[in-house]
Structure 1
Amino acid sequence: MEETMRRKLTGAALMLIVGIAAGHFSRLVSLGVILPAAFFIRRTKSDRRDLAVFLLLFYVCGVLCLISSDIAWAGGAEYNGNEVCPMEAEVLSVESEDTGIRMECRLISYNGRKVPLLLRQKILLHSYAPVKENWRLTGRRVFFHGRLSAPDSAGNPRCFNYRMYLRSRGISHIGTVNAFRLRPSGGIHPLSFSKRRILGIRERFMARLSCDEETKGVVRGLLFGDTSAMDEQIYEDFQSNGTAHVLAVSGLHIGVLYGVYRRLTRKRKSVPATAGLVFFLFFYGTMTLWSVSVTRAVLLILLVVLGDALDRRYDLLCALSLTAMLVLLHQPYALFGAGFQMSFLAVIFINFLTPALKRYIPEETAAMLAVQGGMIPYTAYMFNYIPLLSLLCNIPVIFLLSIAVPAGLAALLISVAAGTPGIPGEVFCGIVQMMTCCNRLLSQQGLFSIDVVSPPLALVAAVYLCVLFFVSETCSVRRNRRDRNFLRTAAVCILGVSLIFATGDRTPFDDACAVMVDVGQGDCMHIRTAGGADILLDGGGRKEYNVGKKILKPYLLKNRHRQVDLALATHLHTDHYRGLKELKEVYPVRRTVLSGNAGQRIDLGNGEAVEILWPIQRDDSVEDENRNSMIFRVTVRGIRILVTGDITGEGERMLLERYMGTDALKCDVLKVAHHGSRYSSTREFLKAASPKIAVIGVGRNTYGHPAEETLRRLEDCGVRVFRTDRQGAVGIIAKKNGLEVVTNWRGP
């Protein structure tokens, strides 16, 4: 009976996940398979029919949950306004930023109209108004004037999708305000009031700790899962060692709490102790703002406690399935968040791999190895690195964590009772500093972590399915029975599922020979030659943001480019060259060209080449670097691409004079000069170049780029215009009958 229930719950959770995933990728297909499935079920044997109907119902439930979420989201489309209007919202949580605060709110009224209760969506509000003790805003209502917009989706293929990340947290819109006012106190919901009091306890505890700000940043991450105040280099040390999971409050932390509870009760039933544990779990969960990992861990422990109370055997897979269903029914888009995926994958591998490994090594080490080994394919695919010393690094870190969490929580309770963390606080801070030093020592600035391109999703799926199947009880039983038909059927199913993942992994950009990469306000074009060489023409760049490390490197690794064979900068302005310079520090770039003269040619093989058309001779005496901007014409797979840097109208006139009577400026694709400045792309130049396609590298800016008159001139010349601020990355695909343009559309 218990075995049947476990299989039913696991099957129900899987079908709910399949329904949500299918509804996301194709609503029509996901609904279209329901009737054929129902017809097929009618023809199955009666002893299996009930189970099949049960599973189909959960699939339908998943599809409908996803569709209902989409409908609610569509109801918020009216908030994508360009005009500033008055709004009211309830503050759910607050975080500090360098330039102000970030508030997660629930929208109550918009432009003077009350928002219906079922359509009250969550918004993320950035405010420049300084607020002391900002946690006091929790539960309060704020009035402000501003505009809301949908978050940016991924600008480049396969890269981080901010919109999907926020949606997995239930947030639909973002906005920025300079000031807001509070509604007078009173009428606050009891839950919001309790949450504010608990967060106040957390912040007072943090203020009372006698350690430096760097250590406090780690304390926030370690004890409350808040890494916003952590030093970036310290966080990278944790990442490269494979120990960053200790900074996301999860089963490790909650498990330590449960271990303390079991020691105190000596495994005997105690109603007061159990009630105290449940209260403290909710108290602690509120302090961590109920992230997915905390929610999962708390629900699992509550199921353990419930099983003890009812004298029922606890089954981890059964509990995990029920927990996943509860999380996804509440927020179906949580399925697409890395937090949900990592949290549940880790427990799945503990459940499946630990029993097999503990035959050879101690159980604690087996569980650690199961998690670390199991997460390698996911980490490689999602984050493009593999921590080589992950297991070795986790041994001391987890040992210290097992001491730090009880010490930290003891210090927290003493702080509440006595107004000071006392000796446990000193011990806790000392342990945190030891963990930080240990990570720094083992990291060696990423020496033992290797960057990898994202493996094919089909391969990741096949590896996971094969491993989980071969260590499962079902496989063991069937192997003992020598049931070859079942094993062959399982192999076919694994292959089929992997092929489905393969189709979902492919993007149109895989066939592009040129991609205008979205680097914000800057230029970067990626050329992929017929021989497989990767070339970058400019690399964007910003003074306050590391474009090379945070945009170009992920773009290249996620799209499976192992190195840049040639990088050329049109000129040395920040928004063209800085990104290339930053990229060279963290990624293999074989050759860089920063200057050249007209007439020089770089042969790429297969009839492909980069020709330098300008300048005739670099002039270092000029103040305007744009006048030294190199102009390239790239020929790749039969397509001619003219890259014009930041050349001005005067520069265009000189180019026309030099190449008069030739077709040197003729092109199929024009990289519009100076981000679409009004002073470039003259009618005479456009007529001489006669491009079919124009691409503009541009982001949010105060320069007026691209200028309306420039866009009008391009339109008058019959040129199709694509711009990265609206359409994301722009890919050019060579076809037998011409060009095809694909975009990573950024619309709402």
Structure 2
Amino acid sequence: MGRHDRVRQLKKLSKTIGIYVLGFCLLLGLAGCSANWTELLSEAGQEHEVWNASSDAQNGNLRVVFLDVGQGASQLLISPSGKTMLIDGGNNDQEQVMLDYLEMYGIGRIDVMIGTHPDADHIGGLDRVIDHHDIGAIYMPKIQANTRTFESLLESIQRKGLKVKTAKAGVVPDWDGEVQIQMLAPVKTSDDSNNMSAVLKVTYGKVSFLLTGDAERESEKLMLESGADLQADVLLVGHHGSKSSTSVSFLERVRPQVGVIQVGENSYGHPKEEILNRLAEAGVRVYRNDLQGSIEISTNGEQIEVLTGR
């Protein structure tokens, strides 16, 4: 698919897949859950305009967009007041796609940028974003990679005169006062880049997101042992649905209602059937970039709406 075809497709980010309403725990008699969602299907083909982050049309919503960057990962967050956060930027071949996305959403400044870990499929497009946009703060874990991709990112950071802040458990990025942001990992230093992934919990009102990068079982175990509140309504399924992540104990603690898998055509067999079955058994509704394009989850703090690119 050509770049212009992709942009035209993105501008049709219009199908309402479902609206999930919070607060049915008592009605359903499910003890211990923070929220249960009942699906209200809209009329087939109902269209929604993509809101512009720079306009006054935020309507008090937090928007979390899981960008379709193929076999890679990138999340764009737009706060109720229009603040922006970009977590990862896909692979090297997604640089122009990243710029197109930001243009489509009307974004000229990234208030907070986070490179979860130095793997190319997560940071490959960030250098071009830095080159073409104003950047507020940038966070990365203390782990390096001996790759041209990582070097290119550092060069872009240096040209802009930015200073990298350390991404680790306990860090609270200064973003939007209405939205709680906390890093839950990495808890400890590891030689494994995946297990050094920055993991963020984002909470707005009663709705929470857990964005996990490529964190694997080692990191999940440390987060469980840390006593952090891991419960979240929306889970970015770890490591593109690899069986190295999303352990049973971790999934039981998070108790998500929705899972998003950032995955594209790949030779790894992602997402693994074992993980898909585990999510299904836990009652998690799954959305995937390879099947549904970009996935935008918008919430007013009480309920969410999911829109997909196709």
Length-normalised TM-score, structure 1: 0.31
Instruction: Give, in whole Å, the separation in 1 of the partners of 2:263 and 2:110.
Output: 23
In structure 1, how many angstroms separate the alpha carbons of the residues matched to 2:8 and 2:85? 20
8 Å contact kept, 1:156–1:555: no
The 3 A distance-change label for structure 1 pair 651 and 530 is same
Question: Secondary structure, in 3 states, of the residue corresponding to 1:674?
Answer: helix
Query: Aligned partner of 1:522: which letter?
Result: G
Tell me the residue number matched to 1:706: 271
How far apart are the structure 1 equivalents of 2:115 and 2:206? 23
Tell me how far apart the structure 2 counterparts of residues 702 and 709 of structure 1 sit (CA, whole Å).
Answer: 17
Q: Which whole-Å CA distance do the structure 2 matches of 1:699 and 1:687 have between them?
A: 26
Q: Which residue of 1 aligns with 2:182?
A: 611
1:524 paired with 2:74, answer: yes
Deviation at 1:509, TM superposition (A): 8.6
Residues 93-112 of structure 1 mapped to structure 2, 5 A cutoff: none
Equivalent position SS for 2:287: strand
What is the deviation of 1:631? 1.2
Aligned CA-pair RMSD? 2.6
Q: Report the residue type matching 1:616 in the other structure.
A: V
Relative distance call for 1:684 and 1:517 in structure 2 (3 A) is: same
Closer, same or farther in 2 for the Cα pair 1:617/1:657, shift >3 Å?
closer
Q: What are the superposed Cα offsets for residues 10-36 of structure 1, whole Å, 9 maximum, x if unpaired?
A: xxxxxxxxxxxxxxxxxxxxxxxxxxx
Cα drift, residue 632 of structure 1 = 1.1
Is the Cα contact below 8 Å between 1:509 and 1:742 reproduced in 2?
no
CA distance 1:509–1:673, shift in 2 (3 Å): farther
- Residue in 2 that maps onto 1:11: none
User: Is the CA contact 1:612–1:633 (under 8 Å) kept in the aligned structure 2?
Assistant: yes
Equivalent residue of 1:590, what SS? strand
Q: Find 1:733's aligned residue among 291, 298, 301.
A: 298
How many Å apart are 1:580 and its aligned residue?
A: 1.2
Task: Give the secondary-structure state (helix, strand or coil) at the position aligned to 1:604.
Answer: coil
Structure 1 distance, partners of 2:131, 2:11, is 23
* Structure 2 counterparts to residues 283-302 of structure 1, below 5 A: none
- Whether 1:743 and 2:282 are equivalent positions in the alignment is no
Within-5 A mapping of 1:207-286? none
- Per-residue displacement from partner, 1:586-620 (whole Å, max 9, x unpaired)? 2332321112221111132333132111122434x
Change (3 A) 1:726 1:558: same
2:76 aligned with 1:533: no
Runs (4+) of structure 1 moved beyond 4 Å? 152-156, 508-512
Q: CA contact under 8 A between 2:63 and 2:79: conserved in structure 1?
A: yes
The secondary structure found in structure 2 opposite 1:741 is: strand
Distance 2:302 2:251 in 1: 23
Cα distance 1:505–1:627, how it changes in 2: closer, same or farther (>3 A)?
closer
Amino acid in the other structure paired with 2:239? H
Q: Is the 8 A contact 1:157 1:729 kept in 2?
A: yes
Residue 225 of structure 2 corresponds to which residue in structure 1? 657
What is the alpha-carbon distance in structure 1 between the residues aligned to residue 177 and residue 298 of structure 2? Answer: 17
Is the contact between residue 570 and residue 631 of structure 1 (CA under 8 Å) also seen in structure 2? yes
- Say which SS state the counterpart of residue 135 (structure 2) adopts: coil
Q: Output one character per residue of 1:121-159: Cα deviation in whole Å (capped at 9) or x when no partner.
A: xxx9xxxxxxxxxxxxxxxxxxxxxxxxxxx86596328
Q: Note if contact 2:187-2:219 (Cα within 8 Å) is conserved in structure 1.
A: no
Whichever structure has more strand as a proportion of its residues is 2
Aligned partners of 2:134 and 2:301: how far apart in 1?
Answer: 34
Q: C-alpha distance in 1, partners of 2:301/2:245?
A: 32
Aligned twin of 1:54: none
1:631 aligns with 2:204: no
Match of 1:139 in 2: none
| Inter-partner Cα distance in structure 1 for 2:64 and 2:103 | 17
> Given that residues 629 and 645 in structure 1 are in contact (C-alpha distance below 8 angstroms), is that contact kept between their aligned partners in structure 2?
yes
Query: In the alignment, which residue of structure 1 is the partner of 2:103?
Result: 557
Equivalent pair of 1:693/1:721 in contact (CA under 8 Å): yes
Which residue in the other structure is 1:570 paired with? 116
Aligned to 1:641, what secondary structure does the other structure show?
A: strand
1:586 counterpart = 2:132: yes
Q: Which has the larger radius of gyration?
A: 1
Name the amino acid aligned to 2:86: L
Alignment of 1:643 onto 2:188: no
* Cα distance change on mapping 1:690 and 1:155 into 2, 3 Å: farther
- Whole-Å separation in 2 of the counterparts to 1:600 and 1:616: 11
Aligned 1:473-484 pairs, distance under 5 A: none
Map of 2:23 onto structure 1: none
Q: Matches of 2:120 and 2:295 in 1, distance apart?
A: 22
* 1:96-175 aligned within 5 A: 157-158=10-11
Once the two structures are aligned, what percentage of the paired residues are identical?
A: 32
CA contact (8 A) 2:299 2:305 kept: yes
Asked whether the equivalents of residues 240 and 263 of structure 2 are also in contact (C-alpha less than 8 Å), the reply is yes
- The change in CA–CA distance for 1:651 and 1:158 in structure 2 (over 3 A counts) is same
Equivalent in 219, 237, 245 of residue 672 of structure 1:
237
Q: Tell me how far 1:696 sits from its aligned partner.
A: 0.9
Q: TM-score, normalised by structure 2?
A: 0.72
Over 3 Å counting, the alpha-carbon distance change for 1:583 and 1:743 in structure 2 is same
Runs (5+) with no aligned partner, structure 2: 14-46, 142-166
Distance 1:531 1:717, change over 3 A: same
Q: Residue deviations 1:224-246, cap 9 Å, x none? A: xxxxxxxxxxxxxxxxxxxxxxx
Aligned residue for 1:102?
none
Once residues 728 and 637 of structure 1 are traced to their aligned partners in structure 2, the CA distance between those partners, rounded to angstroms, is: 27
Q: Output the CA distance in 2 between the equivalents of 1:657 and 1:673.
A: 18
Structure-2 separation of matches of 1:593 and 1:156:
31
- Residue 513 of structure 1 corresponds to 63
The answer to whether the 8 A contact 2:194-2:216 is kept is yes
Q: Distance in 2 between matches of 1:530 and 1:586?
A: 24
Q: Secondary structure at the match of 1:605?
A: coil
Contact 2:187/2:223 (8 A) holds in 1: no
CA contact (8 A) 1:615 1:630 kept: yes
- CA drift at 1:665: 0.5
Q: Does 1:697 align with 2:252?
A: no
Q: Distance in 2 between matches of 1:159 and 1:573?
A: 31
Instruction: Find the aligned partners of 1:645 and 1:155 in 2 and give their Cα distance.
Output: 28
Q: What are the residue-to-residue correspondences of 1:199-598 with 2, within 5 Å?
A: 506-507=49-50, 513-542=63-92, 545=93, 547-548=94-95, 550-595=96-141, 596-598=167-169
The structure carrying a bigger helix percent of its residues is 1
Is contact 1:520–1:698 with CA below 8 Å preserved after alignment? yes
1:482-532 Cα deviation digits (max 9, x unpaired): xxxxxxxxxxxxxxxxxxxxxx99237976611101111111011111121
> What SS does the corresponding residue of 1:679 show, helix, strand or coil?
coil
Aligned pairs, number: 243
SS at match of 2:174: strand
